[in-house]
Amino acid sequence: MSPPNRPPQTLAQKLIARACGQAQVAVGDIVSCQVDLAMFHDSSGPRRLKPMLEDLGAQIWNKDRVVLVMDHYVPEQDDDSRRIVRIARDWAAEQRLPHVYDSIGICHVVLPQKGHIRPGMFCVGGDSHSPTGGAFGAYMFGIGSTEMLGVMVTGELWVRVPQTIRMWWDGRLPAGVTAKDMVLHMIGRFGMNGGDYQAVEFCGPAVQALSMQERMTLSNMSAEMGAQTGLIAPDTTTRDWLLLAGVPDEAIDLDAWYTDEGVDETRARTFRFDAAALAPQVAAPHSPANTRPVGDFGDVAVQVAYIGACTGAKLDDLRAAAQVLRGHRVAPGLRLMVAPASLQDQQAAQDEGVLGALLDAGAELLPTACGACSGYGGTIPDGANVIATTARNFKGRMGSATAQVYLASPYTVAASALSGRIADPREVLA
């Protein structure tokens, strides 16, 4: 409940109010916020920020609040990638940045795994999928290099307080259906501009039942809905996960970060969904908004299955794929590629026997990096039908302009790899 004489506030309002040092903020207010954490990677960071900072003769405001992750152009495969990564490594050494993660995984996964995100924070990232941090009850969103320059110098950023769209999920997901299916369904319903600039908050019993890695997938793909950020109120699941990541218990605040009861439609609109009725979803080329139930795609043959990216190759995702593939082999002539989201997840998958099950089924193991999701590495052949766990299927996104990319959950991608066509994972699991 909100304090007496104070109107109910959304989670987004509370997070922004804390960041700007006010007791409360109203939707539409423009305020200047103190940044708790700024993240960028080899593609978005030093090669752009270094010359701009030098032109200004400016210094980084607080190096302990900066995180650099090398994940887009690693492992280096050509002169251009070697140049980009060398700039990042040299600049990190020159600046003596204390938080640099080189070739150990995708930034959106590495950042929380290293304990950098916690409830109540106000964070920015040099990548459009930075809203992943919202899964931990932090206000996090992506910004461009010019805005990041301002943050690097001042530690501040202005923001307009957004209206909230609450996506309330009742029930519980059935077997073979995941957070990826939930978010694809929402993008299919609302489109890629459905949350334009607004804060999307995922809530309800089905969301509360999700693991942290599944919650991260929801928040990550709020970007595909056009939202500025994708929030989930933190709870004991959040606390338990952060404790394992090394965050001290006293640094995890769960008490304040939720949307108050009684918030009106001017602050938050609510849409309701039934998780129990959701079927596996597939997004057809060339937009995540082209989403329909998997049963509509049964006659689509695929030549490549890709289990990778921050939305589809975390440990929970690898476990899901292994559940389908264990004891089977992929269809003849089909190429199944697996690129774990981080070395930590890859090692855990190996220890559990998950990785072995994927490899025994015929999977090809790729480096723990953004890889084909960002079109790097030349792994997607021209003209191929591809089913992938990635976040986007824009034309040319995965490298080849003639490839036809379908998006789905790890369950569905794995089932499709077995049959050589887009397949319903529930049929295999049954």
| Residue 259 within a domain | yes
- What does the pLDDT average to over 182-211? 93
CATH of the domain at 113: 3.30.499.10
Q: What is the pLDDT of residue 266?
A: 80
pLDDT, position 299: 87
Instruction: Answer yes or no: is 5 within a domain.
Output: no
| pLDDT band at residue 264 under the 50/70/90 scheme | confident
Residues 255 and 287 in one domain: no
Q: Tell me: the pLDDT tens digits for 346-391?
A: 999 999 999 999 999 999 999 999 888 888 777 888 999 999 999 9
Q: Is the pLDDT of residue 43 over 60?
A: yes
| pLDDT tier for residue 253 given thresholds of 50, 70 and 90 | very high
Which residue range(s) make up the domain with 422? 282-429
The whole-number average pLDDT for the span 311-332 is 97
- Whether 235 maps to a domain, the answer reads yes
Alpha helices per DSSP H over 6-164: 11-20, 46-56, 79-95, 107-113, 145-154
**CA distance to 80, 220, 320, 411, per residue, from 408 (Å):** 32, 15, 12, 8
Give 249: exposed, middle or buried? Use CB within 10 Å, 0-12, 13-18, 19+: exposed
More confident residue, 228 or 394: 228
Mean pLDDT of 311-327: 97
Boundary residue ending a domain (274, 298, 333): 274
Altogether, the residues listed in the chain come to a count of 430
Q: Judge if 360 and 377 occupy the same domain.
A: yes
Instruction: Please check whether residues 291 and 256 belong to one and the same domain.
Output: no
Query: 30 and 130 share a domain?
Result: yes
CA distance 166 to 204: 9
User: Between β-strands 139-142 and 100-102, what pairing exists: parallel, antiparallel or unpaired?
Assistant: unpaired
**Quick one: 166 and 294 in the same domain?**
no
Structure confidence at residue 2 (pLDDT): 54
How many domains does the chain divide into? 2
Buried b (16+ CB within 10 A) or exposed e, 111-126: bbbbebbbbbbbbbbb
The answer to the question of residue 6 being in a domain is no
| 99 and 149 housed in the same domain | yes
The pLDDT assigned to 204 comes to 97
pTM for the whole thing?
0.96
> Do residue 264 and residue 204 come from a single domain?
yes
227 and 372 assigned to the same domain? no
Res 231: pLDDT: 98
| pLDDT above 90: percentage of residues in the chain | 89
Helix, strand, coil distribution of the chain in percent, nearest 5: 35, 20, 45
68 and 153 both lie in a single domain: yes
Residue 2 belongs to a domain: no
Considering the domain architecture, whether residues 66 and 104 belong to the same structural domain is answered as: yes
Domain boundary among 249, 274, 299: 274
Ranges 151-155, 206-210, 258-262: which has the least confidence: 258-262
Q: Do 267 and 326 share a domain, yes or no?
A: no
Answer yes or no: is pLDDT of 3 > 60. no
Which of 274, 295, 321 is where one domain is finished? 274
- On whether residue 3 sits in a domain, the answer given is no
Residue 110 lies in a domain: yes
pLDDT of residue 5: 66
pLDDT at 19: 98
* Residue 225 sits in the same domain as residue 355: no
Asked if the structure places residue 382 within a domain, the reply is: yes
